[in-house]
Structure 1
C-alpha cells in the first residue's frame, strides 16, 4: 500500500493490477484511493469508532469528485469521529430505518386489527392506500416533518371531515412510532397541526327512534324528573314535523 500525497496526476496515472491497489494519502490519515482490477478508482476513508469498530466507507468516484473534494470530505468525517460519532454506521442505520410504508403495515397489523372494529380498519386502510402511501410512503419514519403533514392537510382542505379523520389516524400512527422506537419521544410531526372546523350534522330520526324518544318524554313527565319547560321544547320541535334532528357539535 504505497503512501503518497494524492493529487490529480497521481490518481489519474494509477494503473490497475490483479488485485485492489490502495494509494494512501500522506496528508489525511486513513484517506486513500482504491484502484480495482477493472480500473475503477474510488476514494475511501478508514477509521475506528470510539468503541473500536473498523469502518471503511467510500466517499465517491474519481471523476465525480476531485482529489481536493474527497480529501475535504474525509477531513469532515474524521472531525465527526473525533466528536464521538460514527458517520458510516449512522448512514447504514439510516438505510435500514423503517419507512412510512413499514409503519403503516405495522400500524394495521399490531394496532388497528386487534383494537378497532372492521369498519374502522377498512377506513384506515383506505386512508393509508389513497393518501399516505402516495405522498410519503417512501420516506423514512424519522424523516417525516410537520411540513409533510401540513402539505397533506392542504391537499384535503376541500373535504375537511375526511381530512380530520386522516389526521387522527396519522397522529395515532406516529404516537405508536415513538412507542416502537422509530422516532425519538415527543417528535410527533402532527403536533400543533390543527383540525379543520366541521359543520354540525343533520339526519332523519327513524320511526323506532321517535317512538323511544316520546316514550322517554312521557315517562319523564309522569315521574316529574324534569321541569316541564325543556320537555315542552322538545315536543314542540318534533310534533307536527317530519322528524329532523340536528346534533349539537359538542355531542357528535
Structure 2
C-alpha cells in the first residue's frame, strides 16, 4: 500500500481499500499515515483517492493534523488547500506543535495567510500553554505579534512557565546583540506601548510572579480590556 501511495497508483489504492485488505486510517509508529505519504510524494491522484475513501478520519484528529503538518511544510499551497477543502480543521496540532505555529515557522507568507484567512484560532493554546502570538514573540518576530494583536489575539496570554508578551518583549531588548536601531525593535517598542496602554504591568511580571498571579486568580488583572489596539486606533 505504501508503495502504491508513493507511486500515485490510484487503481491499486482503490483495490486495496475496497477489498478491506488495508485500513484507510492506519497510522505508523512515527505517526505517518497514508495521507502524509501522498503529500510527501506530491501525488495528487493518490491523495484524492485516499480522501474519497475516508482516510482523513475526524477533521481535528491526529491523522488530519499530521497530514496538515506535512502539507504546511511544502512551498506549494495546493496540498494544504486540498486537505482543508476535504474537511481537515486548521485548528489542530501536527509535528508536536500547533499548526499555526508551524505556518509561522515556514516564513511562507502565502501559507500563513491561508491559515489566517480560513479560521485559524489565534488564541488556541500551544503545547506549552501559550499561543501563536507568544511563541512568535519568543522568536522575536514582533511585526507578526502586532499583526496578530490587530487580528484579535489576546495580549494576556501566559504559558506554563509564566512567560507573557510583556516579559518576552522586555527580555529581547536586554539581549546584548539586539539591534535597537532596527525596524524590528520599533515593532517591539510598539508592542510594549500597546500593552502598557491597556494596563499591562510595567515591568512585566517574572515567571514566578506570573505563576503566583495566575494561582491567585489575578491574571489577567481584573477589568482590563481583552484587546490591545494600536495607538490612535478607534
State the TM-score, normalizing by the size of structure 2: 0.27
Larger RCO of the pair (alpha carbons < 8 Å, separation 6+): 2
> So what's the TM-score if we normalise by structure 1?
0.25
Give the greater-gyration-radius structure (CA).
Answer: 1
